[in-house]
Structure 1
Amino acid sequence: MKSNRFEEQVAQFGNRTYRYYSIQQAGVEFKRDISRLPFCIRILLEMAMRKCDGLSVTIDDVSRLARWAPSADDRPPLAFYPARVVLQDFTGVPVMVDLAAMRTEMQRRGGDPSRINPAIPVDLVIDHSVQMDFAGSSDAIKKNVEIEFQRNQERYHFLRWAQQAFTNLRIVPPSRGIIHQVNLEKLSPVVQTTNDTIPLVYPDTILGTDSHTPMINGLGVLGWGVGGIEAIAAMLDQPVELVTPDVIGVHLTGTLREGVMPTDLVLHLTQILRKTGVVNKFLEYFGPGLDELSLADRAMISNMTPENGATVSYFPVDRVTLDYLRLTGRGKDQVDLIEAYFTAQGMLRTSQSLDPQYSSIIEFNLGEVEPSIAGPKRPQDRISLKNVKAEFLGSLTRSKTDRGYQLPEEKLANTSLVNLPDGKTATLHHGSVVLAAITSCTNTSNPTVMLAAGLVAKKAVEAGLSISPTIKTSLAPGSRVVADYLRTSGLQKYLDQLGFQVAGFGCGTCIGNSGPLPDVTVNAIKQGELVAAAVLSGNRNFEGRVSPHTLANFLASPPLVVAFALAGRVDIDFENEPVGLGKNGTPVYLRDIWPTRYEIDELAAASITADLFTSAYADVFSGDSDWQALDVRSGSNYEWISSSTYIQEPPYFKQTASTSAQGATLKNMRMLAVFGDSVTTDHISPAGNISKDSPSGEYLRSLNVAPADFNSYGSRRGNDRVMVRGTFANLRLRNLMAGGKEGGFTAFQPDGEIITIYEASRKYMEKGIPLAVLAGKEYGTGSSRDWAAKGPMLLGIRVVIAESFERIHRSNLAGMGILPLQFQAGQNAPSLGLDGTETLDINVDDATLEPGCPILVSAHKKNGETLTFKVTCRLDTPLEVQYYRQGGLLPAVLNTIQKK
C-alpha cells in the first residue's frame, strides 16, 4: 500500500514518459522559493519527498528542507537514503566479510540468511591492492599485476564468491582504474531510473567507503564518504542519519593565470578552507569563476574535500557537466534525460539561475592562485613554489610539533653515498628526492595536468635532461583512458625515457603502496640519518603513509613531480636555480620546459575523444584472464576457512552480546593512549607494509607466513586477528604515555612498563579493565577506514575523549559502540593535567543518554586526588544513541532485519 503522501508527477523527458517527485510541488505546498535553495539542498529535498513514509522520513523532514534557512539554531538529523553505494577493495573486502558474517549469524539465529543482501546497487572497484614493487621499466606493469594476483588470491577468491552470492553487486576487477575516477568517467548515471513500465527518475546520490567519494560532487552528484559500517546500513535499506547541514557558498571569481595548474588551485583551497573551519559543512561552488573551470578541475576540487574537512563540495549540473558526459560516452539519450529532468526540477545551473542563499560565503579569486606544493607532513600546509627551498631548510631545525624535524646543528650537513649498479656513486643529502610518483585519481583524472607532465618530460628530454637512478619513478593512472591519450598524443615515450612508465592502474603510491626503495638507497638514508623526500601527485602526505623512508612528503601537480625528479631535490629555488644541466652543460630552468596553456589545450583537443572512453570501459566488469581464471565458490553462505590469514569470521556479534547497558561498564577505566593533535586514521590503523617485528608481523610469522608474503595491512582487513594487532602500529605514532618512544607503544599501568599497545590491551582485558583514549584536535582525520574504529573496539577501548573529531571517524566510533566524547571549549588533557596514569569513571546513564548531553568524568590520580570535569556526548543523532545502546550499528541492523 502506498504510504507516501506526495503525489508523483508524470512528464515526457526526451523520448520517454517518466514519473518523478517535483520539488517545485514542495515549494508551493510549503510556500518557499525553491530557486533560492542551495542546489545540494534541492537534491536532499527530492530524496526526502521520495522516501517520505511517515516513519524514518516524515512530512516535517520534507518541510524543514523546503524551508531550509541559511542560519538556523536547530539543524535536526535527517535520514538519508542513497541511490547506490561504491566500495574500494581495502574497505570493500571487510564490508563483504561483515555481510557474510551477518548471514552466518542470521543462520545461527534460525533466520533466513538471504535477507542479508544489498537492497540498492553496489559497485566494488578493486584498485587498492596493486603495489609499485616494480617501476621505471617497460615491464613494470606486467610484473606488478602478476605479484598482485599472487598476493591476493584469497581475497579475490572471496570477492568472486561475493559476486555470485549477493544480488545488486557489481565488481570492477583489478587493473581497470581507481574507484573515484571510474565512478566519474563511467559508473555514475547522474540520474537513476527504475525498471517499471513508466520509470521513476530521480537524482543519483551516493555513499562510498572511501573518504574521497565526494569527487563525484564535481559531476553534480551528491555523495560523501562513510565507513564500511554505515555503508552496510545503507546497503541493507537502513537510513544513514546526518545532521541537516549548513551550506557554505564558495564564490569563485577571476581566472587562473598562465602557468598555474589546477592542482595549485586545489592546494590553495585546501589551505584556506581548513583554516576557515568547514568540518561537517556542505560546500557549494558558485559565481562567474565556475565557468572558467573544466569538469575535471571541479572533480579535483571535490576530490580533496576530506583534506579541507567538509562533508561535500558540490558543483551544480550545468552545460560543462553535460559536455563532459557527452565526452565520456554516456550516450545521447541519457544526457538528454539528465538535461530535461534537471531543468524541470530547477536543479540545472544556467546563466539565468539566481544565486542561492548560503549559511555563509567564502570569496575566492582564481587569479590569486600561484604555483605551489603542500607538505611535508599535511595536505593543508601549502607552500608557494618560490618559497619551497627556504621552507624546507627551515623545517629541518623546527620542532616536530611545528611540522619540523628538530635536527641538531651537527646533523644539518649530513650526506651519504649511494653505490649505483653501474659502479658510479651518487650523494644524498637532506631534501634529496628518492621517490617521485605521478599517482592518484586527484590528478590523473585531469587531462590538463597529465598532458602538462608529458610536455615537461618531452621538453626535458629534448634539452638533454635526465633523472638520477637514485630516484624511484612511477606512473599509475586512475583509468586506462589516461594511458591511451598519453600514448596517442605521443607524450608517453618521453615519460618512458625519464622512468615514468605505466606501472599499474590503481591507487599505488597515493595510499602508501609505493613498493620498496632500493636497499642501497634505504641504507644510505639510514646511515646518513637523512630527511629524504618524496614528491607525489596524491592527496595525502601524512607521516609514515607514503614510504617509511621518506620523512618529507610533498604533494604537487604531475608536471612538478617530473620537475622535482629532474632536479633531484626539494631544496631548490626554481626561479633562480636550474633544474639541471642539459646538452653541452647548458643550464635548463623550469621556465624553459614549462608548457603553455595553448600547448596543453591543443593537445587535449586532438587526442581526447569519446571513443577513448567507450573503448576503455567496454569490458570494465569483465577482467583479464587472471581474474577470469579464479575459481568461484558457490553458495549463499560463506564457508569460513580456519587456516586463512586473509579472511576470518569477525567476532563483533559475539563480543557485543556483553556490551548492552554500555554505561554500566565505564568505571575504573585505564587509558591506553594519550595523543596530541591531528592523529590520523593512518596512525590508528595503518594501510601500508607490515613490519616483521610488529605484533601483526609476529602473528603472521607464527602461522608460517614469510615476511615477503605479509602484503599490507589494507589487504589483511578481512582478518580481525591481524588488524587488531595492527591497531596503533604506525611507526610514526607518538603516544604521550610512551616516554618519547615512537610507534605502537604505551605505558602499562600502574607500573609504567613500556610495552606494545596490543600487549597492554590484552593484559587489561585479562583483568576486565575497560580502556579509554585521550586526544587533541582533529582526531581521526584522513581516510574513512572503519578499522580505525573496529580495531580500538577489539582492543577493549570503550571511550575516546578528544578536543574535536573528524566527521567520518566520529561516526565510525559510534557505529562500533565506542562512545565519542568531546572536551569542553578551552579544555584538553594537558590543561586538565591528565597524563594517562589516572583511572577514569564516566557517568553515563543509558536511559538518559542523548545527543550532545553533558557527561561527568572523574579522573582519579595516583596521589589519591580526584579531578572532575564535564565533556559533551558526540553521539550526534538519536539513531546513533540507539545503535550505541545495542553495542554498535552492525548488531542493531541485524536485530532490525531479524525482527521484520
Structure 2
Amino acid sequence: MVQLYKSGAYLLNGTEIIEDNEQVNAVLSSKLGTAVPTKEEAAKGTIAYRILEQHNTSGNMEKLKLKFDKLTSHDITFVGIIQTARASGLEKFPVPYILTNCHNSLCAVGGTINEDDHMFGLTAAKKYGGVYVPPHQAVIHQFAREMLAGGGKMILGSDSHTRYGALGTMAMGEGGPELVKQLLSKTYDINMPKVVGVYLTGKPQKGVGPQDVALAIIGEVFANGYVNNKIMEFVGDGIANLSADFRIGIDVMTTETTCLSSIWKTDDEIKEFYEIHGRKEEYCELNTDKVAYYDGMIYVDLSKVKPMIAMPFHPSNTYTIEELNANLMDILADCEKKAKVSLGGSVDFTLRDKVRNGKLYVEQGIIAGCAGGGFENICDAADILRGASIGADEFTLSVYPASTPIYMELVKNGSIAKLMGAGAVVKTAFCGPCFGAGDTPSNNAFSIRHSTRNFPNREGSKLQSGQIASVALMDARSIAATAANKGYLTAATDIDVDYTTPKYFFDKTIYENRVFDSKGVADPSVSIKFGPNIKDWPEMIALTDHMLMKVVSEIHDPVTTTDELIPSGETSSYRSNPIGLAEFTLSRKDPEYVGKAKEVQRAENARRQGKAPEEELSEIAPVFDLIKSHFETVDYKNTGIGSTIFAVKPGDGSAREQAASCQRVLGGCANIANEYATKRYRSNLINWGMLPFIIANEELPFTNGNYIFVPNVKKAIEDKKTEIKAFVVGDTLKEFTLKMGELTEDERTIILKGCLINYYKG
C-alpha cells in the first residue's frame, strides 16, 4: 500500500519519480535532454516552495519570516490568545481572525463558564474587527474550508488540525503565542522546512474511504519520524481519482504524522469545490515545475489500500481490519501490552473480553468533526445503513455533520432520515468526540470513531477515578458497516452497497443569518464582556543569572502527548483561567506533579519577596550551601528557583499552548527531553519563557526529586550557546551537559524576558 523512499527523489512532469542515487544525474540528463538542475534549484520547483516564498518577508529562503493571510481559533484557545495580545498592546486585528465556537459548545457544566467565553469572543470580534461563528454552526476546520481557504494562501490556526492543503492552502496549527505574534504584526520564524512528496496513484476500492488512506500513511511514517516537522506535498496521477471531500479527509489527518503542514496539487475538482461554495475567485491551479526535488517520497497505491483500524492508544497503531479479524486474540493481546505503557498500570485494561463468538464487538460508533463529519462520509454511511438497524443492544451510533450547511443538505437529500431510521442519533457540529466532551462510553467500553485522535482519555474517561474506555479510529464507511452488523467489527468492503453519491449543494444562508463578520472594521467603543472565569495571565519574571530547578516529574513513555500534559475534556472549561486550569496539569499522568511544583513555586515566591526560600522549602538550604561552596557569586538574588519535568519525547498531539503554559503558571522553568515530538510544543515552551533543554538519549544523570543547578544560564542564552553546563546537586555536584538547539534572535529575547508578554511590554 505504502512505500517510503530511503533517500530524496526528483519528480519529472508531475508523473515520474527518479530516486536520488549515484545514477540520478545520468538518468535525469537522458530524460531532460538539458542540463540537470542542482537539488537546490529543483527544490524550488515544489508547490510548497512557491507558497512559502510568496509569504516570506525575510528575503532569505533559508531563514523564513512568514506572514499569514488569515488566522483561526476556537473557544478553547481564543480567549487566552486575545488576552495575551491585549496585554501586549493589541489595538486591531491586522488580518482576518476567525473565532469559532466548536469545542466548548456544550454549555452544560461549570455554571456560565462556556457561554461567557463565547460572549468574550463576540465582543472581541466587534472591538478588534474579527469574525465570530456561534456554537453549533460549524467545526473550525469545516468553516475554514467553506469560507476561508484560497489557492496559494496561508492560514495559521491555534488547533493542530489546521490543514487545508487539499484546497491549495498551506495551513499550520500552532500554539496561541504564535498567533499573538501575527496579531501584533510580527512574523512566524522558522528555518526552511524540508518537503516530502506523497505520490498517489491508482483508485480506491469501493468501500475504502479517506480515513483508511490516512491511517495507512500514518502507520508507516509516525514512528520513524519520516515527515516530522516537514511539509507533505501530495502529487501523482491518483489525485484525479479522488473527490475534494476524499482529499480533505486524508489531508486533515496529516497532523498525526507530526508534519509541519501539507499542500496538494489542484485541479478541476478543487475548482468545482470553490464554485459550489460561491468563491470561484479563490481557486488557483497549483502544480509542480517540470523538475521538482523532494527530501523524501511516500508512494501510495490507492488501489491496494484496505479498510484500516488504528487501535488504542495512537493513530499510528494501525492494522487492516482484515488482518485484525484474522489474528484477533494476538493483536488484542499486543494492544493490551502497549496500553500498559500509556496507562502506567493505573487501571485494569483489556480488549480480549470484546470477543464474542470469535468476532470483535464494539459498544459505540462515532462519525464526527473535521475528519469524519464531511458530506460524502455521511452520505455513504447513510447508504450503508439504509433499511438496516443498529440493534437494541449496547451498541450506539452518533453522527455529527461538520457544519450546518452540510447538515441542511443531508436533511434535504434524505441521508439524515436513513441514519435516524437505522437508530443513529444525529447531532450538531461539535468537536467533542475528538477531545472527550460528550459521548463518553461506559467503563471498559470500546468505541470506533471517524475522528482525529484516540489517545488515552480522549473519549472522556478518567484514569484517576478508576475509569477507562478506549477508541479505535476507522473510516465512516466501515463504522456504518459495523453498525449495520449491530456492533460486530465489519469492513465496508465486505458488504454490497449501492452508493448513491448525491451532489452537494452549499447554502450559506445560515452563515449570513448567524455569523458576525466585521468585514475587518474594528469598533474601539465596544467593551469586551468578561465572565468571572476569564482571568489574566499571572506575572512571569525575566530569566535570572543562574537557575536552580527541581525535577518534579519523570516520564519514560516513548511519546508523551499534550493530552497527558494537560488533559482535555472537562478541563476545557478552565482554558480561560490560567490558574484554575493549571490545577489539572499532568493530573492523569502524574497526579503528584501539581503539589510538588507548588512546593518549589512557594520557595521561588519567597525568594522574589526577599525572604529565605528555605522558610518555605527546608530542603533547599543544603542544596544552596553546596552550590555556594563551589560558586561564590551565587545567591538568592541572582538565582531563580523553578521546577522541571523530564519526558522522552513530549508534545505529540494538540497545538494547545496550555500544555506548556500550565507548567509555567506553576513555576516551571524548563523541560528536559531526548527530543520534542513537534515544533509547536517546543515553540510553546519558548513563548512561555521555559527553556527547551535536550539531553542525550542515554542513562539520565538525574532522577525525579533531584535538584539541577544551571550556572550562568542567562549569559549562555545571550552568547548563543547551544550546549550549557549543568550540575546534579547531591552529596557533590555532578556535571553534565544540556543542549538547547537553535534559537532565533526573537526566541532568545523571549526566554531572557521571561515570556512573550514581557517581550512585547519591552
TM-score (norm 2): 0.81
User: How many Å separate the matches in 2 of 1:413 and 1:225?
Assistant: 37
1:364 to 297, 300, 303: 300
* Count of residue correspondences: 675
Residues 1:551 and 2:465 aligned together: no
Deviations 1:44-79 (A, max 9, x none): 11223xx4xxxxx24xx1xxx3xxxxxxxxxx4311
1:673 to 545, 553, 575: 553
Give, in angstroms, the shift of residue 501 of structure 1. Answer: 2.6
Partner of 2:124: 162
Partner of 1:509: 433
Partner of 1:475: 399
Query: Is residue 177–residue 479 contact of structure 1 (8 Å, CA) maintained in 2?
Result: yes
2:222 to 259, 262, 274: 274
State the secondary structure of the residue aligned to 2:550.
Answer: strand
Deviations 1:706-738 (A, max 9, x none): xxxxxxx223211122111121123xx1x4xxx
User: How many Å separate the matches in 1 of 2:495 and 2:297?
Assistant: 39
Q: Which sits farther off after the overlay, 406-415 or 540-549?
A: 406-415
2:579 to 703, 721, 740: 721
The 5 Å alignment of 1:371-390 reads 371-389=307-325, 390=328
Residues 1:184 and 2:132 aligned together: no
User: How many Å separate the matches in 1 of 2:217 and 2:349?
Assistant: 38
Deviations 1:397-443 (A, max 9, x none): 52545669979999888799xxxxxxxxxx99997533321111112
1:116 to 73, 91, 102: 91
User: How many Å separate the matches in 1 of 2:562 and 2:344?
Assistant: 22
Partner of 1:835: 703
Query: Is residue 186–residue 617 contact of structure 1 (8 Å, CA) maintained in 2?
Result: no
Query: Is residue 398–residue 404 contact of structure 1 (8 Å, CA) maintained in 2?
Result: no
CA separation of 1:650/1:288 partners in 2, compared to 1, >3 Å: closer, same or farther? same
The 5 Å alignment of 1:84-483 reads 84-102=70-88, 116-131=91-106, 152-167=114-129, 169-190=130-151, 203-214=152-163, 216-277=164-225, 278-331=227-280, 334-335=281-282, 338-339=283-284, 348-349=286-287, 353-389=289-325, 390=328, 393-395=332-334, 398=337, 400-401=339-340, 433-445=362-374, 447-459=375-387, 461=388, 465-483=389-407
User: How many Å separate the matches in 2 of 1:32 and 1:758?
Assistant: 48
Query: Is residue 255–residue 292 contact of structure 1 (8 Å, CA) maintained in 2?
Result: yes
User: How many Å separate the matches in 1 of 2:179 and 2:317?
Assistant: 31
CA separation of 1:537/1:852 partners in 2, compared to 1, >3 Å: closer, same or farther? farther
Query: Is residue 247–residue 284 contact of structure 1 (8 Å, CA) maintained in 2?
Result: yes
What residue identity is the alignment partner of 2:370?
C
Give, in angstroms, the shift of residue 594 of structure 1. Answer: 4.5
Query: Is residue 307–residue 320 contact of structure 2 (8 Å, CA) maintained in 1?
Result: yes
Query: Is residue 94–residue 185 contact of structure 2 (8 Å, CA) maintained in 1?
Result: yes
Partner of 2:592: 745
Give, in angstroms, the shift of residue 503 of structure 1. Answer: 1.8
Deviations 1:280-306 (A, max 9, x none): 111111121222222222222221222
Give, in angstroms, the shift of residue 840 of structure 1. Answer: 0.6
User: How many Å separate the matches in 1 of 2:494 and 2:707?
Assistant: 64
State the secondary structure of the residue aligned to 1:117.
Answer: coil
CA separation of 1:188/1:848 partners in 2, compared to 1, >3 Å: closer, same or farther? same
Give, in angstroms, the shift of residue 189 of structure 1. Answer: 4.0
User: How many Å separate the matches in 2 of 1:475 and 1:803?
Assistant: 40
CA separation of 1:121/1:634 partners in 2, compared to 1, >3 Å: closer, same or farther? closer
State the secondary structure of the residue aligned to 2:215.
Answer: helix
Partner of 1:856: 725
State the secondary structure of the residue aligned to 1:604.
Answer: coil
1:800 to 651, 671, 676: 671
User: How many Å separate the matches in 1 of 2:297 and 2:512?
Assistant: 42
Partner of 2:424: 500
What residue identity is the alignment partner of 2:654?
S
Query: Is residue 433–residue 565 contact of structure 1 (8 Å, CA) maintained in 2?
Result: no
Q: Which sits farther off after the overlay, 370-379 or 497-506?
A: 497-506
What residue identity is the alignment partner of 1:553?
V
User: How many Å separate the matches in 2 of 1:846 and 1:761?
Assistant: 20
Unaligned runs of 5+ in 2: 1-37, 462-466, 518-522, 605-615, 618-639
1:618 to 507, 512, 519: 512
Query: Is residue 728–residue 757 contact of structure 1 (8 Å, CA) maintained in 2?
Result: no
User: How many Å separate the matches in 2 of 1:40 and 1:274?
Assistant: 21
CA separation of 1:800/1:403 partners in 2, compared to 1, >3 Å: closer, same or farther? closer
Partner of 2:502: 604
User: How many Å separate the matches in 2 of 1:722 and 1:504?
Assistant: 29
Partner of 2:535: 648
User: How many Å separate the matches in 1 of 2:349 and 2:674?
Assistant: 37
Partner of 1:893: 760
State the secondary structure of the residue aligned to 1:496.
Answer: helix
User: How many Å separate the matches in 2 of 1:594 and 1:157?
Assistant: 49
State the secondary structure of the residue aligned to 2:119.
Answer: helix
CA separation of 1:255/1:414 partners in 2, compared to 1, >3 Å: closer, same or farther? closer
Give, in angstroms, the shift of residue 245 of structure 1. Answer: 0.9
What residue identity is the alignment partner of 2:96?
P
CA separation of 1:678/1:482 partners in 2, compared to 1, >3 Å: closer, same or farther? same
CA separation of 1:844/1:443 partners in 2, compared to 1, >3 Å: closer, same or farther? farther
Query: Is residue 814–residue 880 contact of structure 1 (8 Å, CA) maintained in 2?
Result: yes
What percent of counterpart residues are identical?
Answer: 22
What residue identity is the alignment partner of 1:680?
T
Query: Is residue 435–residue 534 contact of structure 1 (8 Å, CA) maintained in 2?
Result: yes
User: How many Å separate the matches in 2 of 1:362 and 1:414?
Assistant: 37
User: How many Å separate the matches in 2 of 1:551 and 1:865?
Assistant: 47
Partner of 2:633: none
CA separation of 1:102/1:385 partners in 2, compared to 1, >3 Å: closer, same or farther? same
User: How many Å separate the matches in 1 of 2:161 and 2:529?
Assistant: 33
Partner of 1:877: 744
State the secondary structure of the residue aligned to 2:501.
Answer: helix
TM-score (norm 1): 0.69
User: How many Å separate the matches in 2 of 1:213 and 1:406?
Assistant: 34
State the secondary structure of the residue aligned to 1:847.
Answer: helix
Give, in angstroms, the shift of residue 231 of structure 1. Answer: 0.3
User: How many Å separate the matches in 2 of 1:40 and 1:679?
Assistant: 30
CA separation of 1:512/1:640 partners in 2, compared to 1, >3 Å: closer, same or farther? closer
CA separation of 1:722/1:210 partners in 2, compared to 1, >3 Å: closer, same or farther? same
The 5 Å alignment of 1:803-818 reads 803-805=674-676, 806-818=678-690
What residue identity is the alignment partner of 1:283?
M
Give, in angstroms, the shift of residue 859 of structure 1. Answer: 1.6
Partner of 2:13: none
CA separation of 1:440/1:166 partners in 2, compared to 1, >3 Å: closer, same or farther? same
Deviations 1:106-130 (A, max 9, x none): xxxxxxxxx5332111111111123
Residues 1:532 and 2:532 aligned together: no
Give, in angstroms, the shift of residue 452 of structure 1. Answer: 1.6
Give, in angstroms, the shift of residue 476 of structure 1. Answer: 1.4
CA separation of 1:243/1:274 partners in 2, compared to 1, >3 Å: closer, same or farther? same
What residue identity is the alignment partner of 2:157?
G
What residue identity is the alignment partner of 2:97?
V
User: How many Å separate the matches in 2 of 1:280 and 1:264?
Assistant: 23
